[in-house]
Chains A and B, each alone.
Chain A
């Protein structure tokens, strides 16, 4: 079993729908990242969380440390949101480094 699991692996939505991507992890963490990867490979960091909730535009990320679970929500989805979304955990024994453990990614397609 992977230390960081995402669900679903693939997601197709209609424009305007509310989308939720889930991430569960089995290790103690210092922080959890949500990343977005478009075709071509470029990765953008969306959020870095260690507790609670963060919001940026139509994107909301939450984390429950006790349950070892995080969610990424997209409100009013748009075709330009189509991408791969990856959660990445920074274990507490990694120190303040980039030694992230990645989920397998969720491929999102938003249809017009």
Chain B
């Protein structure tokens, strides 16, 4: 089975722009979670989607949004980019509704905001 894929792998944007990142989960996985990793804050949970519904959301401003399509692929969008949004954005997919499933991580998208 192919692993979790994320596109693009690297991205450079300027302040004020918006960006869309994509995540394709492992075939058959219906849960997709997004995380942000920065040197200062470490890894933080952004949001999680299951069957096109956002099930949980972390403490991030409304500029961060996401969605999931019927094929379980997910996108996250950041509007009005700030310098502090520079980070590695990781998504992970999980096959199980219950019990808690193992997370399979993608390679990440490294976003640089200039």
Q: Is the CB of A97 within 8 A of B105?
A: no
Question: In the complex where A41-B107, A42-B107 touch, is A99 in contact with B56 (Cβ < 8 A)?
Answer: yes
A31 to B96, CA, bound (A): 14
Residues of A within 8 A of B50 (CB): 97
Contact with B along A67-105 (1 / 0, CB 8 A): 000000000000000000010101000111111111111
- Interface magnitude class on chain B: 20 to 34
Closest chain-A Cβ to B104's Cβ sits at a distance in Å of 7
Contacts of B101 in A (CB 8 A): 96
Give bound CA distance, A48 to B110, whole Å. 26
B90 touches A95 (CB 8 A): no
Q: Which residues of A contact B103 (CB under 8 A)?
A: 33, 45, 98, 100
Residue B98 at the A interface, CB < 8 A? yes
Q: Which residues of B have CB within 8 Å of A105? A: 42-43
Could you list 9 examples of A-B contacts with CB < 8 Å?
Answer: A41-B110, A43-B90, A45-B102, A96-B98, A97-B31, A97-B56, A98-B48, A101-B45, A102-B42
Q: A43-B108, A45-B102, A97-B50 are in contact. List 20 more A-B contacts (CB 8 A).
A: A31-B100, A33-B102, A33-B103, A35-B105, A41-B88, A42-B105, A43-B90, A43-B92, A45-B105, A48-B102, A90-B100, A95-B56, A96-B97, A96-B99, A96-B101, A98-B94, A99-B33, A100-B35, A102-B44, A105-B42
B-binding residues in A (CB < 8 A): 30-31, 33, 35, 40-45, 48, 50, 86, 88, 90, 94-105
Chain B residues engaging chain A, CB cutoff 8 angstroms: 31, 33, 35, 37, 42-45, 48, 50, 55-56, 58, 88, 90, 92, 94, 96-105, 107-108, 110
